[in-house]
Structure formats: C-alpha cells, structure tokens
Amino acid sequence: MIDVRPLLLVIGILLTLLGVAMLLPAGIDLILNNPDWQVFFAAASLTTFIGMSLALTNWGYTTILNLQQAFLLTISSWVVLAAFAALPFAFAGLELSYTDAFFEAMSGLTTTGSTVMTNLDGTPPGILLWRALLQWLGGVGIIVMAVGLLPILQVGGMQLFRVEAFDTPEKVLPSAARFAASLGALYVSMTLACGLALIAAGIGPFDAVTHAMTTIATGGFSTHDRSVGYFDNAVVDWIIIGGMIAGSLPFALYLQALQGKRDRIWRDVQVRIFFVAVAMLVAAMTFYLWYTDVYRGFDNLRYAAFNVISVMTGTGYSTQDYNQWGPFAVMMLFWVMFIGGCAGSTSCGIKIFRFHVIVAAVVGHVRRMLHPHGVFVFHYNDRPIDPSVTASVMSFFFLFFVSIAVLTFLLGLLGLDFITALSAAATAIANVGPGLGPEVGPAGTFQNLPDAAKWLMSFGMLLGRLELFTVLIIFTPSFWQS
C-alpha cells in the first residue's frame, strides 16, 4: 500500500502557493475595475483552503519518499495544479468550457504555449497576467524537477545530471527546497532584466513583464493575437531571442558561474552543441529566405533567427506566419521542434544531450565493427557514458516518436486531417505550442478541435514535459506491485 500522506502534503503546499499567485491577477483586475477580480479571488480562496487543508492534515510526513511516491508526486502535482489553475479561465467572462480551461492551464504550466483563446487584444489584463504567471511558475518547477528529481528516477538518461544534493529519493524534498531558493533569485533576476530591456525597447510595462515571464520560461504565451509580431520592433525581437536562448541553457551552470566558476557554461558540451546547432539552422533558414526573396536585407536574418530559435527552444512565439514561407521552411521547422534546448533549462523537446549520447553510441558501434577487439569509452563532459545511460536515451528516442505516432493516430480518429493531427501531436509531446497548417499553425489556435482532442493533447503535453517515462511507468503492472 502506497503511503500518500507525503504526496498530499507537498500537493497541499503547492496548491497554497498557486492560490496566493491568483491574488496577483485579482489585484490587477480590481485596480482596473474589471469584474473578473471576483473570479480570481473566489478561485484563490478555494485553492488556498484546499491546499492548506491538505498540508495541515498531513504535516510531519516528509521523511519517507520512495521511488513509487516520487513518480506519483511528480505526475499528481502537475495534474492537480492544472485542474485548479483552470478555474479562473472557466469562470471568467471568456465563455470557455472546463475542457478549454484545463487545456489552457496545462499548456501554461508545461510551458507548451498552445492556446484555445482568441481576441487576446481584447482579453482582460488579469487573465493575460494569469497565463504568463502559469508559464513562469511552470518554468521554475521544470528546472527543479529536471535537476533534482528526474536524475534520481533515471528518466531518459537524465542520470547524467545527478548532483550531490539529490543523492537519494529520501533527500528530494529538502534538497529541492534548498536548490529552489538559489534558483528563485536567479530566475527572478533574469526575468527582471528581460522585462527592463523590453521597456527600454519601447513597449509598455504590462506587455514587457508578461513577455519577460514567458520568454525566460520559454513558454510563448503572448498578450496579443499576432504574438510578438504585434510590436513589429527589431530591438524587441532581438531581446526576446536573447531571452529564449538564456532560458534554454542549464540553470545549474548559471549558479556555478555566479559562484566564480565562469568557464563551466562554455565548457559544457551540450551548450557548445546547442550554439552550433542554432548557428547552422539560423544560417540555413536565412539563406533560404534570402534566396526565395521572402524579405529584404537583414529582415531575412531577423525573422529566420527569431522563428527558428522560438520553435527549437519550444517557446512558440512567432513574428511571421512561417506556413507562408514555403514547403522547405515548414518541413525544416517541423523537425527543428524536436531538438529542444539543454537539460536543466526551461526548454523542451528531446534535449541536446540525448543527441550527443546517441551519436556517441552510433560512432562507438561503427568503431567496434571495424575493430572488434578494441575498447572504446565515450565521454560526456569528461565523464564516461554509462551503458545504462545510452540504453535510457535510446529508449527515450523510441518512445518519443512512438508517442507522437499513437497520438497522431488517435487525433486522426477524431476527424483531424493528417497534417493537423501530426503537427498537433508533435507540438504537444515536444511542448512547442503552434503546429502546422491554417488551423493550429502560428496564425491559428486549437479552439476548434474536438473536446476529446484537447484532453488527448493535454495528456500529451504532460507526457512530453515529464520526459515520457515518468508518466508511462504508472501504467505498468509492476509499478503497483513493487
């Protein structure tokens, strides 16, 4: 029998924090005399009450956390938080069903960026702030989970990033709290820096704050229907490009750099590969746009860099409808969305380190074929890559694309055409945001999808954000028998 008391304690604390966060958009709407403040206040009261009740009734059960509980805690916390975060969307004057509200909340917390909302330019500021807050809070949670919990659970090769503070499952909760304290100060500082830069570039304080939140979180929720293209400002584009890149690098390396180990960031192999990949992909897209005469002069570089980096990092912002760039650009961006950023960042996708491990495995296999008696040891950041890591990474690659195929099939059964179903499944599992085609592309929304498709995509967002294994393992009989 699994002891759920430690899980309920943590979920209660998280719900309490979520309820407190709801007071921020409530205050904004109250100041601006928008009636939605009552919805936020009621949702905050309910969420805080339930959260505090769970925390107080289970207080003291924090010392035992086995692997079963760690998996269940990870999954249940994200689902429960999304369920309560959906309340303001469902009961504000947006005419959203609870299905739409849950989809929007899950998209926000997983920093996916897919949306069912239209007319963002006319949406009350409290709701727009709440969308940004969800992505910002989700970004913090993702980093803590990626550095602290997933390495212990040996999810998809993440054991490469185990740190001393998280040696055992029993230490997860206190260690995560210590790490979160340092991370929080850094995260806030980066967000403030991005927001101030955007204000200096000429956009209003509200837009600057909300876009800074969703940029550092690589989330992509905007306050305008045209996304960042609404501003039509080259300086804003380049600031957000810098913010998306900053959010895609390992945050643990930032903390080490602040401790005086400034060379750690560039010495990290995944960081170097990330920048090489960005440079090559942006150069290829820039050349394509120039060759096909889509834009003039440096606009080719500006739009290529922004949209390639946005899709690659899983942010999901757009400045142009890249579906109009031609088949080469569309197919290139489709495959780019799978790459992702670095492990331990707010970014999503397959992650750079897994590509490095898989290439090392292929090279090793070829060398062993040529030299059967040779001994070849491949390294990651000067550490030998354990065979179990290679096996985890290969399993992750297999499950990643199988999950997309299965979700595509299920969406197709609901009546979606192949392009819409495939891109919707891919963008959900990869946590990117916009898909391809006129319906779910950068110029569209997911509003017209059937409710069943939205629930499937919500599950896909959770599946992709929690690195597949964390979710799928609970569906195995051995998990419940162990």
Q: What is the pLDDT of residue 284?
A: 96
Specify if 419 maps to a domain.
Answer: yes
Specify if 477 maps to a domain.
Answer: yes
At residue 173 the predicted structure's pLDDT band, cuts being 50, 70 and 90, is very low
Q: Residue 111's closest CA among 74, 138, 141?
A: 138
Q: Which of 196-205, 267-276, 302-311, 363-372 has the lowest mean pLDDT?
A: 363-372
Q: What is the pLDDT of residue 165?
A: 44
pLDDT over 80 (residue 342): yes
Q: Which of 15-24, 123-132, 262-271, 380-389 has the lowest mean pLDDT?
A: 380-389
pLDDT over 80 (residue 134): yes
Specify if 412 maps to a domain.
Answer: yes
More confident: 420 or 384: 420
Cα–Cα dist 276/474, whole Å: 37
Read off the tokens for 334.
């489709």
Residue with tokens 């192949």: 418
To the nearest whole percent, how much of the chain has pLDDT over 70?
91
The number of beta carbons lying within 10 Å of the beta carbon of residue 275 is 14
Cα–Cα dist 163/388, whole Å: 18
Specify if 282 maps to a domain.
Answer: no
pLDDT digits (tens, 9 = 90+) for 250-277: 888 888 888 887 788 888 899 999 999 9
DSSP 241-300: HHHHHHHTS-HHHHHHHHTT-TTHHHHSHHHHHHHHHHHHHHHHHHHHHHHTT-S-TTHH
Cα–Cα dist 149/111, whole Å: 18
To the nearest whole percent, how much of the chain has pLDDT over 90?
54
Number of domains in the chain: 1
345 φ/ψ angles, rounded to the nearest 5 degrees: -120, 180
At residue 167 the predicted structure's pLDDT band, cuts being 50, 70 and 90, is very low
Specify if 395 maps to a domain.
Answer: yes
Specify if 43 maps to a domain.
Answer: no
CB 69 within 8 A of CB 6: yes
Specify if 443 maps to a domain.
Answer: yes
Q: pTM of the prediction?
A: 0.91
pLDDT over 50 (residue 164): no
Q: Which of 108-112, 149-153, 185-189, 416-420 has the lowest mean pLDDT?
A: 149-153
Q: Which long-range contacts (CB under 8 A, 24 or more apart) does 116-122 make?
A: 116/445, 116/446, 116/447, 116/449, 116/454, 117/445, 117/447, 118/225, 118/445, 118/447, 119/225, 120/222, 120/223, 120/224, 120/225, 121/223, 121/224, 121/225, 121/230
pLDDT over 90 (residue 471): no
pLDDT over 90 (residue 191): yes
CB 157 within 8 A of CB 392: yes
At residue 168 the predicted structure's pLDDT band, cuts being 50, 70 and 90, is very low
Read off the tokens for 282.
């942006």
The 3-state secondary structure of 26-43 reads HHHHHHCCCCHHHHHHHH
Q: What is the pLDDT of residue 256?
A: 84
Specify if 409 maps to a domain.
Answer: yes
| Structural domain of 383 | 364-481
Q: Report the SS3 class of residue 228.
A: helix
Strands (E), 272-382: 379-380
Mean pLDDT of 146-154: 61
At residue 149 the predicted structure's pLDDT band, cuts being 50, 70 and 90, is low
Q: What is the pLDDT of residue 157?
A: 61
Cα–Cα dist 170/107, whole Å: 30
End-to-end C-alpha distance for the chain, whole angstroms: 10
CB 138 within 8 A of CB 111: yes
Mean pLDDT of 208-221: 94
Say which residues have a Cβ less than 8 Å from residue 453's Cβ, sequence separation at least 6. Answer: 411, 414, 416, 424
